[in-house]
Chains A and B, each alone.
Chain A
Amino acid sequence: MHVKQFLALDEATLMAIAARLAEQVSLQGNSATLTLYLYGELGAGKTTFSRGFIQALGHSGKVKSPTYTLVESYQLPPWQLHHFDLYRLADPEELEFMGIRDYLGEHHIILAEWPQRGSGWLPKADITISIDYAGTARSMTLEALTERGRGLLETL
């Protein structure tokens, strides 16, 4: 299964799906850098999805929008999660100046909103998550682009 689709009728469902994905990541026991791309228009629910995902990995506080800081990092043993929002990035090469390579490695998770603005400098995605407006609900499309991504989606 390379693609899975969900219809999230409300915010709680969207967060629950994110939490389920986070559970699968914990269960999989693969410690290489995991990269997730989040696509969706402003207000679609990318940050909500991120909140569900990050909290399911054990974070109990706030998940602040990284729009102004570009990245917010979380220590979630054994993981280090880096929540990027590249909305304000004008040139993908900015990621190199920011030291993107320091954010990669064993037990690192990259959760990137607006990944298209970092194209060529962000690592390739294991899974892309697209959130689209469906009236007030949201249609979610998760696509696996690597073996590892496929493994995660199969059990979701």
Chain B
Amino acid sequence: MHVLGIETSCDETGIAIYHTERGLLAHQLYSQVKLHADYGGVVPELASRDHVRKILPLIAAALKQAELKTTDLDGIAYTAGPGLVGALLVGACVGRSMAFGLGIPALGVHHMEGHLLAPMLEDDVPEFPFIALLVSGGHTQLVRVDGIGRYEMLGESIDDAAGEAFDKTAKLMGLDYPGGPRLAAMAATGRPQQYQFPRPMTDRPGLDFSFSGLKTHAANTIAANPSDPQTRADIARAFQDAVVDTLVIKCRRALEQTGLKRLVVAGGVSANVELREKLQQFAAKIGGKVYFPRPAFCTDNGAMIAYAGAQRLRAGELNDLSIITRPRWPLDQLASVSC
């Protein structure tokens, strides 16, 4: 079964083709980061218009890469939410209409389900059940995954997402927004333990996160210290260590509580090298294993949507002819799929 995946929830246009037996056949991505960088943030309307411009050429490129014609497709999966409504509508309209034209099923997919199943596209596939840490600019969640669509929310951020804390702290350091990855690069030259940052919400039970206070702590530390590059790098290091430690502590707690040993980490922040290393070390220590998607599939992409959609379409799930977008869509409200 050939499934076309369409991802347009934010500022990346991602198109991919996944075959239920042959695996991933094509993957095309256009990032609008440069477009939005000129404005210092995402511009929802510009994002939508840019998706409109890029989506059809990217679908054509993906078909060419897979050496397929549109009539070879057996189903279309598009991101229905959560995300920016205007951006979601582009993928939803194109996906739903194209499927109607071809007489094949279409399905709206949950963006975060895509992320948490992204490691399934790798050679080393985690078995269910596992714990997933979804960590990006918009989300920080710990989810117990018992199967496709069988998600139990164990904890999430009560305020800022981890990636958001990175981006905002980067801004406090004078880096252009969103500067999370550049802050991480700065931290690499910082010396450890020059500054003490709190590990929020680790001193009490529970799996929720809070990163808003770290940003405030960073602002106070920046204001109280000189602005030479080494000091800045040291502060970046202290900040990153605090975020990474907090994430690791909560992952450890989630594994202990559930007795599971497999951890999947996905979302933009899962590309963070320090986080990867610390989680690998910790997993090795407990005789467990941590699974990451390849860096290209940590951030938004069409492959994860094609994969998640293919699992659901194969199980017979499909939507009617309405164009569905759900800008707010709790992950634990999804239907389960038996495979």
Q: Which residues of A contact B (CB under 8 A)?
A: 11, 41-45, 47-48, 51, 62-65, 67-70, 87-91, 94, 97-98, 133, 136
The distance from the CB of A69 to the nearest CB of chain B, in whole angstroms, is: 7
Which residues from A are CB-within-8-Å of B86? 97-98
Contact indicator A42/B40 (Cβ below 8 Å): no
Which of B218-226, B230-238, B272-280 forms part of the interface with chain A?
A: B218-226
Known A42-B171, A43-B168, A94-B45; judge A69-B327 contact (CB<8 A): yes
The 6 nearest A-B residue pairs measured at CB: A90-B39, A88-B41, A43-B219, A68-B138, A43-B216, A97-B45
Contact indicator A48/B212 (Cβ below 8 Å): yes
The distance from the CB of A62 to the nearest CB of chain B, in whole angstroms, is: 4
Q: Which residue of A lies closest to B163 (CB)?
A: A68
Contact indicator B43/A94 (Cβ below 8 Å): yes
Contact indicator A68/B161 (Cβ below 8 Å): yes
Bound-complex Cα distance A39 to B212 (A) = 16
Asked if B331 is at the interface (CB within 8 A of a chain A CB), the reply is no
Q: Which residue of A lies closest to B10 (CB)?
A: A68
Contact indicator B219/A90 (Cβ below 8 Å): no
- Contact sample, A vs B, 26 pairs, CB 8 Å cutoff: A11-B213, A41-B219, A43-B168, A43-B215, A43-B217, A44-B216, A44-B219, A47-B212, A62-B159, A65-B159, A67-B160, A67-B168, A68-B164, A69-B84, A69-B138, A87-B41, A88-B41, A88-B177, A89-B43, A94-B44, A97-B44, A97-B45, A98-B86, A133-B220, A133-B223, A136-B220
List 19 additional contacts besides A97-B45, A133-B220; criterion CB under 8 Å: A41-B219, A42-B215, A43-B220, A44-B216, A47-B159, A48-B212, A62-B158, A63-B158, A63-B159, A64-B158, A65-B160, A65-B164, A67-B168, A68-B137, A68-B164, A69-B328, A90-B39, A94-B43, A97-B86
Q: Which residue of B lies closest to A67 (CB)?
A: B164
Which residues from B are CB-within-8-Å of A43? 168, 172, 215-220
The distance from the CB of B139 to the nearest CB of chain A, in whole angstroms, is: 8
Bound-complex Cα distance A5 to B304 (A) = 51
Q: Which residues of B contact A (CB under 8 A)?
A: 36, 39-46, 82, 84, 86, 137-138, 156-161, 164, 168, 171-172, 177, 212-213, 215-220, 223, 327-328
Bound-complex Cα distance A94 to B87 (A) = 13
Bound-complex Cα distance A47 to B86 (A) = 25
The distance from the CB of A155 to the nearest CB of chain B, in whole angstroms, is: 29
Contact indicator B219/A65 (Cβ below 8 Å): no
Q: Which residue of B lies closest to A50 (CB)?
A: B159
Known A88-B41, A89-B41, A90-B41; judge A45-B160 contact (CB<8 A): no
Q: Which residue of A lies closest to B222 (CB)?
A: A43
Q: Which residue of A lies closest to B327 (CB)?
A: A69
Interface centre among A45, A64, A89, A91 (most CB of B within 10 A): A64
**In-complex Cβ contact of B159 among A51, A69, A88, A98 (8 A):** A51
Which residues from B are CB-within-8-Å of A67? 160, 164, 168
Bound-complex Cα distance A70 to B42 (A) = 10
The distance from the CB of B197 to the nearest CB of chain A, in whole angstroms, is: 13
The distance from the CB of B134 to the nearest CB of chain A, in whole angstroms, is: 14
Q: Which residue of B lies closest to A117 (CB)?
A: B41
Bound-complex Cα distance A62 to B220 (A) = 25
The distance from the CB of B198 to the nearest CB of chain A, in whole angstroms, is: 13
Bound-complex Cα distance A71 to B215 (A) = 20
Which residues from B are CB-within-8-Å of A63? 158-159
Which residues from A are CB-within-8-Å of B223? 133
Contact indicator B43/A90 (Cβ below 8 Å): yes
Bound-complex Cα distance A63 to B156 (A) = 12
The distance from the CB of A85 to the nearest CB of chain B, in whole angstroms, is: 10
Q: Which residue of B lies closest to A65 (CB)?
A: B160
Bound-complex Cα distance A11 to B138 (A) = 24
Contact indicator A42/B160 (Cβ below 8 Å): no
Bound-complex Cα distance A44 to B161 (A) = 17
Bound-complex Cα distance A34 to B216 (A) = 28
Bound-complex Cα distance A51 to B158 (A) = 10
Which residues from A are CB-within-8-Å of B168? 42-43, 67
